[in-house]
Every structure is written in structure tokens, then in C-alpha cells.
Chain A
């Protein structure tokens, strides 16, 4: 599995398409048979407590795309804090298992694990 992370609009999706995937390969925040999952953070934010259960299914994906959500001021709402932490922790676990981790900055892919 390749984990692709980066800020909102940092070029993650374009990068994944440059690997040869097309729109029909990319699921948006839903687990199905498509090989690429985009917007993992949306799935975690809708159910932070259940995010650990996504792990096994995510490992079977070819590519998982997730926004980096941990920077900036810690949110005032507890539910936002929990969702942010759950996203970060899940990404840490995914990065450990991933064969490659790519971070996008200004559209530039930086391989941070290979």
C-alpha cells in the first residue's frame, strides 16, 4: 500500500493519477472494491472512535490518500480534537505498514518512506 498525505489542495490526487489511476479507480471516503481510497480523514471524522476498525481494510488498498489535519491550533471542540488525533494515529499505523509514504507539498511529491 502507498500512503499519500499532504495538506488540502497540495496535489495528492493529481499525483496519484500520475501513477496511472483514473477517476473510476478512486473511491471518495468509502470502502469498496476500488483500489484507491481518497479522503480517509472524512471517514475518521465521521466516526473517530471506530477509526481503528478501518485499518485492515485500508492495508488491502493499493493507495490511501489522507489530508494532514494535525497542524495549527488545537481545536476548541473536543470532538474535533478527538477526530484529529484519531486521524493522526491511524496514519502513523498505516505509515508503518506502508511500502511507501509520499508527502505532497505544493504539488511536489516527497517520498518520506520507501
Chain B
């Protein structure tokens, strides 16, 4: 089963994703994509580690190149999240922007082919109507295209609102 979870910041996606993963087959792999570059990202990583502590996840830290991941056992994988992964793949420290759509899609397909259940957390970055520089606009577009493609490929798509899953595709598991 492949499940895509979307929603804004702090809408309860991670909590829901972990609770869902715990109900599915073990072992459970957690693919962490956040790059730690300051105390704020460190805090976020610590907070997520604490949330996962009692849930028996095996954490794989991989902030780019998820296609290189080889899972030892077919089971349940939680990938968190598309927004970090896409930003990490797109931008380097020199202001260069790479088209990462195909690379990320093949990475997700590679993961999907190695597990029974794949849960992917993404974010709704396109709906604030703000004015942004060219790089950010490209990022919004890329993540939007990735979200569309994943939603088409996946069995279930839920939007999380105040911690409540709204079914956009498939059924509630």
C-alpha cells in the first residue's frame, strides 16, 4: 500500500504518519531527509526523534539520493519529507538550481519496489499566493508536480487538517 500525506505546517502529518506506520508491518524504516544546519533544524530533528523513540523505527538518514537506499527487508517505510528532499536536491550553496523531478520520482519508485507499505509525507507549499524569487517559484512548481505524480501513483492520499485525516483518494486505513 502506498500512502501520500499532505497538509500545511504543523497540521499533524508526522504524528499521523508514525501512528499509521506502527499499525503496518514491521520492521519500520524511517527515512529522514532534513539537513541539520542550525539550532532550529537540530531542534526539529530532536523533536521528531523523541516522537519516534518508542515506535521502533530504524532511521535511515539520507538528505539526497534516495535512489541509493537498499532496504534489507520488505516492510514499511516512512519517508519524511518531500519538501526537504526536493529543496536539498534542487539548491546547492552556489545558487544553482537543478531539475530534480525525474530523479526524485525514480527514487520513490525504487523505494516502493523494495517495501510492502510506503508512506510519504509532503507539504502544501503552493497556496499562500506570496511573491517569490525565481528559485522559490521553481521549487513550488517542482514540488507541486511531484505531489501530482505521487498522488496519481499512490493508492491513498490524505490531507491532514488539525490532526484529522481527510481522504482525497482511496480509503482510510
A43 at the interface (CB under 8 A from B): no
Contact (Cβ within 8 A) A112 B162: yes
Chain A residues with Cβ below 8 Å from B136 are: 73
What CA separation (Å) do A59 and B163 show in the bound complex?
17
Chain A residues with Cβ below 8 Å from B12 are: 88, 92
Contact (Cβ within 8 A) A92 B140: no
Chain A residues with Cβ below 8 Å from B163 are: 92, 95-96
B19 at the interface (CB under 8 A from A): no
Contact (Cβ within 8 A) A72 B8: yes
Chain A 68-110 residues near chain B, CB threshold 8 A: 68-74, 78, 81, 84-89, 91-92, 94-96, 101, 103
What CA separation (Å) do A86 and B132 show in the bound complex?
24
Q: Give the interface residue-count category, chain A.
A: 20 to 34
Q: Which 5 A-B pairs have the closest CB atoms?
A: A72-B128, A88-B10, A70-B8, A95-B162, A71-B8
Q: Which of A73, A85, A92 has the most CB of B within 10 A?
A: A73
Contact (Cβ within 8 A) B161 A103: yes
Contact (Cβ within 8 A) B126 A91: no
Asked, given contacts A73-B125, A94-B162, A95-B163, whether A68 binds B130 with beta carbons under 8 Å apart, the answer is: no
Residues of A within 8 A of B (CB): 3, 5, 68-74, 78, 81, 84-89, 91-92, 94-96, 101, 103, 112-113
Chain B residues with Cβ below 8 Å from A69 are: 8
Q: Give the interface residue-count category, chain B.
A: 20 to 34
What CA separation (Å) do A41 and B161 show in the bound complex?
15
What CA separation (Å) do A88 and B10 show in the bound complex?
5
Q: Give the residue name and chain of the B residue nearest to A82 (CB).
A: B40
Chain B residues with Cβ below 8 Å from A72 are: 8, 124-130
Chain A residues with Cβ below 8 Å from B139 are: 73
Chain B 1-27 residues near chain A, CB threshold 8 A: 7-12, 15
Chain B residues with Cβ below 8 Å from A89 are: 10
Q: Which of B9, B40, B125, B139 has the most CB of A within 10 A?
A: B9
In angstroms, how far is the closest chain A Cβ from the Cβ of B25?
A: 27
Contact (Cβ within 8 A) B166 A88: no
Q: Give the residue name and chain of the B residue nearest to A87 (CB).
A: B10
Asked, given contacts A5-B162, A96-B163, A112-B162, whether A85 binds B125 with beta carbons under 8 Å apart, the answer is: no
Q: Give the residue name and chain of the B residue nearest to A95 (CB).
A: B162
Chain A residues with Cβ below 8 Å from B11 are: 70, 88, 92
In angstroms, how far is the closest chain B Cβ from the Cβ of A83?
A: 10
Contact (Cβ within 8 A) B127 A71: yes
